[in-house]
């Protein structure tokens, strides 16, 4: 692959072109100087040609230095931008790792919740079909809301049964108290009857002696 295919930055392309021109100019100047016989004295015209080629070479060198300086500045800027981009990539990578960790944690929590033996699952709830038959207005509820409604229905039913149980307990206590009172009344009546019999015994003896 040619270097021109590798380098795509316009500034670097210009630097390469200027470098090639400088090299070609340096070769041309060397060829010009080498073409003159070493023993002969250079003519004025030859000296003018050499001076002209030297000035052109110096011009190319000056341009090349400026382009080199600009390339160095651009390289430092690119290096700084690359370092910032790398830091940003590292930050995003760390953030991504944290998100993966949080995702795995949440998935574990969800799995634990799904496998948890909830007490409501042990409640003797009435079948869904029976509940919907008694409460057709709940037919459009989703599974979660429907479960909550069934639990509330069971709760209300248990509250009603508890109220009924409390009423029966109070009634039972009332019956026990009434029964106890009757027993006490019968006991008192027995005592009064015994006293009456004891009091009537002298009368009975007197009656028997007369007879």
The separation between CA 81 and the C-alpha centre of its own chain, rounded to angstroms, equals: 32
The answer to whether the beta carbons of residues 50 and 99 sit under 8 Å apart is: no
Give the pLDDT confidence score for residue 1 in this predicted structure.
52
Give the pLDDT confidence score for residue 135 in this predicted structure.
85
Secondary structure letter of residue 137 according to DSSP = G
Give the pLDDT confidence score for residue 128 in this predicted structure.
81
Give the pLDDT confidence score for residue 14 in this predicted structure.
83
Question: What b-and-e string marks burial along 117-128, b requiring 16 or more CB atoms within 10 Å of the CB?
Answer: eeeeeeeebeee
Question: How far from 174 is each of 162, 170, 171, 181, CA to CA, in Å?
Answer: 18, 6, 5, 10
Give the pLDDT confidence score for residue 120 in this predicted structure.
61
Give the pLDDT confidence score for residue 81 in this predicted structure.
92
Give the C-alpha separation, 3 to 159, whole Å: 89
Neighbour tally for 206: CB within 10 Å: 10
- Over its C-alpha atoms, the chain yields an Rg (Å, rounded) of 58
Give the pLDDT confidence score for residue 152 in this predicted structure.
85
Q: What is the mean pLDDT of each run of 10 residues along the chain (211 residues)?
A: 65 83 90 79 84 91 90 88 94 95 93 72 75 84 83 84 91 90 84 76 64 54
Give the C-alpha separation, 109 to 102, whole Å: 10
Give the pLDDT confidence score for residue 123 in this predicted structure.
67
Give the pLDDT confidence score for residue 143 in this predicted structure.
81
Sign of torsion over alpha carbons 97, 99, 100, 104: positive
The separation between CA 150 and the C-alpha centre of its own chain, rounded to angstroms, equals: 31
Q: Where are the alpha helices (DSSP H) in 128-142?
A: 128-134
Give the pLDDT confidence score for residue 194 in this predicted structure.
79
Give the pLDDT confidence score for residue 208 in this predicted structure.
62
């Amino acid at each position: 692959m040619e270097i021109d295919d590798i380098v795509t930055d316009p500034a670097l392309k210009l630097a390469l072109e200027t470098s090639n021109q400088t090299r070609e100019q340096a070769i041309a100047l060397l060829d010009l100087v080498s073409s003159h016989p070493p023993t002969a004295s250079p003519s004025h015209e030859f000296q003018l040609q050499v001076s002209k080629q030297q000035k052109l070479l110096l011009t190319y060198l000056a341009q090349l230095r400026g382009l080199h300086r600009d390339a160095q500045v651009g390289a430092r800027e690119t290096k700084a931008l690359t370092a910032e981009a790398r830091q940003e990539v590292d930050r995003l990578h760390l953030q991504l790792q944290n998100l993966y960790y949080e995702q795995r944690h949440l998935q574990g929590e969800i799995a634990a919740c799904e496998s948890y033996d909830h007490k409501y699952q042990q409640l003797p709830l009435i079948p869904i079909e029976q509940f919907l038959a008694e409460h057709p207005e709940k037919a459009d509820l989703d599974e979660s809301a429907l479960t909550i409604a069934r639990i509330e229905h069971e709760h209300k039913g248990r509250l009603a049964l508890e109220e009924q149980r409390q009423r029966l307990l109070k009634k039972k206590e009332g019956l026990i108290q009434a029964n106890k009172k009757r027993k006490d009344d019968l006991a008192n009546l027995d005592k009064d009857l015994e006293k009456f019999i004891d009091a009537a015994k002298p009368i009975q003896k007197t009656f028997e002696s007369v007879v």
